[in-house]
Structure 1
Amino acid sequence: MNDERSRALYDRALSVMPGGVNSAVRAAIEPYPFFVQKGDAGHVIDADGDRLIDWVMGLGPLLLGHDLPEPVQAAIQRTASEGPMYGTPTEVEVDLAEFVARHVPSVEKIRFVNSGTEATVSAVRLVRGATGRNKIVIMQGGYHGAQESTLVEGDADTPAPSSAGIPHDFAKHTLPVPFNDEAAVQEVFDEHGDDIAGVLVEPILANYGIVHPVDGYLETLRELTDEHGSLLIFDEVITGFRVGGLGCAQSRFGITPDITTFGKIIGGGFPVGAIGGRADLIEHFAPTGDVFQAGTFSGHPVTMAAGLETLTFAAENDVYDHVNGLGEQLRGGLTDILADQAPNYTVVGTDSMFKVIFTRDGPAREGLEGQCEAGCTQNPECPRFGFCPKNAGDVKRAETERWRRIFWGKMREQGVFLSQNQFESQFISYGHTSEDVERTLEAYKHTL
């Protein structure tokens, strides 16, 4: 591929932006990222004119793909033409709030913000304010945005900031535990239960390789928080309105959290975040309560219109049947390819999410009968169960550098754009086709 223009743009960008990018993950590909000129259905065209099948989809927000259906596009254009924003409430934010409250089990009231990070920052402040407690339990390797309370590594005994600029005194209030480890979270509650404000967890670890919960794990979190007077926060910034359809992942698993954070799809491709939950909890936000939260661009009318029309279109059309069907086709095809070419590797994902984790160990090729057919679901009867990733540490121990330094580039040469590292999810959109899936499977077969 000819990257002459991307290289020139990156050279310019390095002079005026740190690392030449505005979000660190975009620089993960070496020696430089390619620049995108435009999107087209399930594809992107880069600055040098190369067309790629796009499985990144803006890192998740683009449920409908790059070509928005006419009613969605019309609503965005109409709202933008009426004025950029006003600093007052608008009807469309009420409409979107009512839509979310009708469809998501945990949501009685909602506060819109401007990013997933802002949503999780506000949710952590909310549970601390509502409970009068300080400590937050998070999952090791889980990502909840660029915020001080969750950029923490280590374990519950020795938490430490994972970024410069965060005082150690902040990190001591965060208790990291391994995902899917019931004994570890039980131990943390035994020791700190009286001071734990809440547990912040993705129902599926979706930003670190796509790791399903083992049977009973989310139920354990629900029981422990109830028992100790803590609050359960589901971070559905990624899974929201993608896994489990309009009911989100919480409806899939049958667990109702106290608070849910949203982002990505809820804004239809525009900057957005939201915190929803029980009315008595959300009412702690100012102006009705004593937890301050505000933002100039919160409830931005163009974002609200994009989100509402995207979700309405999904509700009234075959969007979830289409994307989930392609997901089954893609993950099933990958499972067959890996069984033949790389039996140690693991296919993960559900609904319209997928990934191949370059796990180092697995059952013998002849022992794969009865494995999960279209993505790991943590099935104890699966011959891979003892080898498939159970937490972020398991994903990190995979061949992450081979994935990034060799595999990603070879897939791009085959015309397939995958997420920039081993950890980020990949997404299917309404703009993708069965032909896109088959071409992608051929690229995996060739590259592996």
Structure 2
Amino acid sequence: MDHERSRELYDRALSVMPGGVNSSVRATMPHPFFIERGDGGHVIDADGNRYIDWVMGYGPLLYGHEMPDPVSAAVQSHAAAGPMYGAPTEIEVEHAEFVARHVPSVESIRFVNSGTEATVSAVRLARGYTDRDKVVIMQGGYHGAQESTLVEGTPESHHPSTKGIPESFAEHTLPIPFNDPEAAKAVFAEHGDDIAAVLVEPILANTGIVMPIDGYHGTLRELCDDHGSLLIFDEVITGFRVGGLGCAQSKFGVTPDVTTFGKIIGGGFPVGAIGGRAEIVEEFTPAGDVFQSGTFSGHPVTMAAGKAYLEYAAENDVYEHVNRLGRQLREGITEICADRAPEYTVVGTDSMFKTVFTREAPDDDADCCMSGCRQDPSCSRYESCPKTGADVAAAETDRWERVFWQGMKDEGVFLTANQFECQFTSYAHTEADVERTLEAYRAVL
């Protein structure tokens, strides 16, 4: 493939943007390829190269790069009426009503502009509602670029995970391992009266897709109830992708007090949201005393796109299609790995998938999870499958980035560029896309 035009654009970008990109995950080696346009389940770069796209904008593109006609019509109608107003619109109310009807935890919702803004606001809300300061997070979890959660370590020894955050900001953040109920019990035994909330992704989705062990979220729910803390599910990635319109919380049967959203809830446009029990969410100003506001919050074009996105999914076979393709990919990759790289672990559920380059093969892969790791204790891989963010971090990340990703790109398959970000199927993808991707896996792995 020729990448001369992308190379030229990257050279120009380095002169005016830090690292040549506006989001660090886009800084692929040796340089990014610049996208010119999307086409269904594919993208075409600036040099005319065509790729099957499993990145899907890092999750929001449930329909790929072609919006269904009702979604496109809704977007065009609201865009034509004016860009924004600084005043409420009916479409905000309609979108909020739709979400509240379908998501178990949502009685009231505040729309914002990004997943990061949603989680920032949710942490402030939890602290204001409980009059407590400490927040429990999961090691390896990701909740956006915010000071309260860019923290690593243990409850006894923790510090910011990036420069630019004062040590004092991390004082009230308590990181614990995902899927370790004893660690959760211990942190509550030590700090329970001071914990405002547990903030957790139902599935670690920015760390190779780590499923919860059976009963883990139920344990978190009980601990929060016993100590008067809030359980916050970060469904920025899983929302309206895992578990259908009920989101991951309906799949796992655990209802949080507060849920954060992003990505799909805005139909591919910039968005975030915080939903939950009315008595909690209505602590936001002007109803309550926790300040929250934003110029572009509830933007009418985003609200129209998000509402039409979800309505189309409710009226068509969208989830059946994307979940079926996701299962076919995971099962196909599992078979290829069993033959060529038995130490690797295929992970994911519904329309999410990834291959984690783990380092230990099972003694017998005959009873391994064929459709993505489910944290099944009867599986022969159970002891070595990734259960925490640290397990994924110990995988062969350099091999993924420097060898595998590059090889798949050369085969015309666009995957997330690092070991950690997950990949997604869309309504625009086809079984032919799946087969072509499996062929690329066989050629590259």
Instruction: Give matches, 1:104-253, under 5 Å.
Output: 104-253=103-252
Instruction: Give matches, 1:297-446, under 5 Å.
Output: 297-364=296-363, 367-446=364-443
Letter in 2 for 1:19: G
Per-residue CA deviation, residues 37-93 of structure 1 (Å, 9 max, x unaligned), is 000000000010000000000000000110111111111011100000000000001
Letter in 2 for 1:284: E
Deviation at 1:137, TM superposition (A): 0.2
Distance 1:26 1:156 in 2: 32
Distance 2:331 2:303 in 1: 36
Give secondary structure in 2 for the equivalent of 1:369: helix
Letter in 2 for 1:179: F
Distance 2:46 2:317 in 1: 33
Letter in 2 for 1:156: P
2:10 match: 10
1:23 match: 23
Distance 2:94 2:38 in 1: 29
Deviation at 1:165, TM superposition (A): 1.2
Per-residue CA deviation, residues 207-234 of structure 1 (Å, 9 max, x unaligned), is 1000000011101100000000000000
Where structure 2 has 5 or more consecutive residues not aligned to the other structure, the ranges are none
Distance 1:414 1:106 in 2: 43
1:260 match: 259
Distance 2:129 2:77 in 1: 39
Deviation at 1:287, TM superposition (A): 0.0
Per-residue CA deviation, residues 353-404 of structure 1 (Å, 9 max, x unaligned), is 000000000213xx11111111000011111111100000000000011000
Distance 1:183 1:72 in 2: 46
Tell me the number of residue pairs that the alignment of Structure 1 and Structure 2 aligns.
Answer: 445
Per-residue CA deviation, residues 132-184 of structure 1 (Å, 9 max, x unaligned), is 00000000011100000000011111110111111111101000000001111
1:276 match: 275
Distance 1:32 1:136 in 2: 38
Q: Under a length normalisation based on structure 2, what TM-score does the superposition of the two structures give?
A: 1.00
Distance 2:15 2:127 in 1: 42
Where structure 1 has 5 or more consecutive residues not aligned to the other structure, the ranges are none
Give secondary structure in 1 for the equivalent of 2:353: strand
1:32 to 2:28 alignment:
no
Distance 1:98 1:70 in 2: 22
Deviation at 1:31, TM superposition (A): 1.6
Deviation at 1:30, TM superposition (A): 1.1
Distance 1:404 1:20 in 2: 18
2:444 match: 447
Distance 2:381 2:93 in 1: 47
Letter in 1 for 2:379: C
Distance 1:143 1:43 in 2: 27
1:295 to 2:291 alignment:
no
Distance 1:442 1:295 in 2: 47
Give secondary structure in 2 for the equivalent of 1:147: coil
Distance 2:150 2:142 in 1: 8
Distance 1:335 1:403 in 2: 16
